[in-house]
């Protein structure tokens, strides 16, 4: 497949690994921000091919992992209502709330449907005027434009039975929070390529400057990721801290202006809780007041009262910040396994805990 196979090429990978070995003189800890990158690293086995001096920390850029428990519980409460059709991206269904997951709601008779786009949820709303169709609008700046567009369309097409449960978060806020944390030791960031496709790279310039840390915009195929690591290591070895773009075929400095405009039109910045990490100030989006009619939390005010706490055993927040390794968790592999996850990092295939669980069985 064009634009895929070239970036999964074994020869090119080998060459980049050689370059990396030549460039590196001491240990560096890099964080790949995005869950999609983690997934690719695990799926291709890239993590085991890197020079030993490179420690990769799987960052908080997995929307499945950072959506707070409270929101999952709200989603579960909404999905359980007989007057609601609850729609979501597929992998949110298995994330455990404090009691159960969305699959269990479906099994108990809730109308829970997987969609691939929020616009599909809008179509479901049109086809089911007697129900309120709620879409779980989660994710980073990547999914925000499409989710915003669905709200704009709902307003334009006068679809009153469509609502969104919003839990959007943003990458620069996460990087800031990580850099402000005294426990986090990250030497460089591989920024999330698809977020930057939308937002551009300009937002990262003040961060790199303020924290003296290189931020390399990185793609998702193994060759892209190696390219990002190599750029980051070269900058570190030269004691430089640029914002550089190792994903130039998709990302420009300005980003996608129309997409940014629709985000601006529909959302405004707000404080957001990140699962396992806590509230990060001004780290997410919420609907602007003029779109309040489409806010599921306002539509069903009773869910606003839901407040929940994490499993006291789960240390996924520390794992997401790279402070602890999954195997240092007392519940790892005991109370917490991919079949019985206590935290989201054990749920998705790219979750750090799930990855460790698998490789642990191989004795690595």
Partner 1 sequence: MPEKINLLGWTCPVPLQNYPTIVMGHGAGGKMMSDLIEHLFAPAFDNPLLAQMGDATALDLPPGKAAFTTDSFVVSPLFFPGGDIGELAVNGTVNDLAMRGAKPLYLSAGFILEEGLAMDDLGRLVTSMAAAARAAGVQVATGDTKVVQKGHGDGLYINTSGIGVIPAGIEIGPEQARPGDVVLVSGTLGDHGIAIMSVREGLRFETEIRSDTAPLNGLVEAMINAAGGRRPPLPNSLHCLRDATRGGLSAVLNELAGVSKVGIEFDEKAVPLRPEVNAACEMLGLDPFYIANEGKLVAIVDKGAAEAVLEAMRKHVYGKDAALIGKVVEAHPGLVTARTTIGGMRVVDLPAGELLPRIC
- For partner 1, the closer of residues 12 and 152 by Cβ is 12
Contact 358, 326 (CB under 8 A): no
Contact 78, 134 (CB under 8 A): yes
Residue 256 C-beta: closest distance to partner 1, Å: 16
Residue 18 C-beta: closest distance to partner 1, Å: 13
Residue 308 C-beta: closest distance to partner 1, Å: 22
* Nearest CA among 310, 309, 357, 307 for reference residue 332: 357
* Nearest CA among 58, 44, 43 for reference residue 13: 44
- For partner 1, the closer of residues 45 and 99 by Cβ is 45
Residue 35 C-beta: closest distance to partner 1, Å: 6
- For partner 1, the closer of residues 89 and 267 by Cβ is 89
Residue 151 CA to residue 125 CA, distance in Å, equals: 12
Q: Which residues bind partner 1 (CB under 8 A)?
A: 1, 4-5, 8-10, 13-14, 34-36, 39, 42-46, 48-49, 62-64, 87, 89-94, 103, 113-116, 120, 124, 138-140, 142-143, 194, 222-223, 338-339, 348, 358-359, 361-363
**SS3 of 31-63:** EEEEHHHHHHHHHHCHHHCCCCCEEEEEEEECH
Residue 147: φ, ψ to 5°:
-65, -40
**Is 272 in a helix, a strand, or coil?**
strand
Residue 101 C-beta: closest distance to partner 1, Å: 10
Q: Cα–chain-centroid distance for residue 120?
A: 21
Residue 85 C-beta: closest distance to partner 1, Å: 11
Residue 23 C-beta: closest distance to partner 1, Å: 19
- For partner 1, the closer of residues 309 and 361 by Cβ is 361
- For partner 1, the closer of residues 134 and 235 by Cβ is 134
- For partner 1, the closer of residues 51 and 338 by Cβ is 338
Compute the C-alpha angle 230/231/232, nearest 5°: 90
- For partner 1, the closer of residues 68 and 214 by Cβ is 68
Question: What's the token pair of residue 160?
Answer: 């009153």
- For partner 1, the closer of residues 140 and 189 by Cβ is 140
Q: How many CA atoms lie within 13 A of 318 on its CB side?
A: 13
- For partner 1, the closer of residues 44 and 181 by Cβ is 44
Residue 302 C-beta: closest distance to partner 1, Å: 27
Distances (CA, A) of 62 to 20, 22, 66, 68, 151: 27, 32, 6, 12, 23
Contact 79, 112 (CB under 8 A): yes
Q: Which residues contact 57 (CB under 8 A, 6 or more apart)?
A: 29, 30, 31, 32, 186, 322
């Amino acid at each position: 497949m064009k634009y895929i196979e070239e970036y999964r090429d074994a020869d090119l990978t080998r060459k980049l690994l050689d370059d990396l070995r030549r460039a590196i003189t001491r240990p560096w800890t890099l964080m790949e921000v995005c869950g999609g990158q983690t997934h690719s690293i695990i799926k291709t086995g890239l993590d085991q091919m890197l020079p030993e001096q490179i420690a990769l920390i799987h960052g908080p850029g997995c929307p499945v992992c950072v959506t707070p428990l409270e929101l999952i519980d709200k989603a579960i409460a909404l999905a359980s209502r007989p007057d609601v059709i609850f729609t979501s991206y597929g992998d949110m269904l298995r994330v455990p709330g404090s009691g159960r997951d969305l699959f269990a709601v479906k099994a108990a008779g809730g109308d829970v449907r997987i969609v691939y786009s929020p616009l599909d949820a809008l179509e479901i709303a049109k086809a089911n005027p007697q129900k309120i169709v709620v879409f779980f609008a989660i994710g980073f700046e990547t999914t925000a434009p499409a989710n915003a567009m669905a709200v704009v369309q709902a307003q334009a097409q006068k679809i009153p039975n469509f609502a969104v449960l919003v839990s959007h978060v943003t990458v620069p806020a996460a990087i800031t929070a990580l850099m402000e944390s005294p426990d986090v030791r990250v030497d460089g960031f591989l920024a999330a390529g698809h977020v930057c496709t939308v937002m551009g790279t300009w937002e990262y310039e003040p961060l790199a400057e303020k924290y003296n840390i290189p931020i390399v915009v990185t793609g998702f195929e193994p060759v892209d990721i190696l390219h990002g690591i190599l750029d980051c290591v070269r900058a570190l070895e030269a004691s430089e801290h640029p914002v550089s773009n190792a994903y130039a075929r998709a990302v420009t400095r300005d980003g996608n202006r129309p997409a940014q405009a629709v985000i601006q039109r529909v959302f405004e910045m707000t404080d957001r809780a990140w699962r396992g990490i806590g509230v990060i100030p001004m780290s997410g989006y919420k609907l602007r007041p003029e779109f309040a009619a489409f806010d599921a939390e306002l539509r069903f005010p009773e869910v606003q009262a839901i407040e929940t706490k994490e499993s006291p055993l789960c240390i996924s927040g520390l794992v997401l910040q790279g402070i602890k390794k999954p195997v240092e968790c007392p519940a790892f592999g005991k109370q917490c396994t991919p079949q019985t996850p206590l935290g989201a990092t054990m749920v998705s295939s790219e979750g750090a805990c799930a990855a460790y669980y698998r490789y642990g069985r191989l004795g690595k």
